[in-house]
Amino acid sequence: MGEIAEATTLGWNLAIPIFGGVLLGHFLDNYFQMGYVFTVGLLFTGVAAGFYNIWRFERRFAVRQRENIEEPF
C-alpha cells in the first residue's frame, strides 16, 4: 500500500522542481534585467532535478520489489 501512496507523488516530484526553477528564474531575470537567461537555465535545471527524482523513485521501487521476491512466504 505504501508504494501506491508514493507513486501518486510522482507528478509532483516532476512538476515542483520545474515550476520552482521557472519561478525563481523569472524573479532573478526581472531583478537583474537579464532577459530570459535565468529562466531558461533554471528551467533545464528543474527538468533535470525532476527526472532525477523519478529515477531515484524507480530505483528504490525496484530494490523493494527484488527484496519482496527473494523473501519466502
Q: What is the mean pLDDT of residues 45-70?
A: 91
Question: Region 23-48: what's the mean pLDDT?
Answer: 97
Q: Output the pLDDT for position 42.
A: 98
Helix (H, G, I), strand (E, B) or coil at 8: coil
**For residues 64 and 2, what is the distance between their CA atoms, to the nearest angstrom?**
11
pLDDT of residue 72: 60
Residue indicated by cell numbers 509532483: 12
Q: How confident is the model at residue 1 (pLDDT cuts 50, 70, 90)?
A: low
Buried b (16+ CB within 10 A) or exposed e, 49-62: bbeebeeebeeeee
- Res 2 pLDDT > 90: no
Cα end-to-end distance, the chain, whole Å: 18
Query: Domain segments of the chain: what residues?
Result: 2-70
Instruction: State mean pLDDT over 33-44.
Output: 97
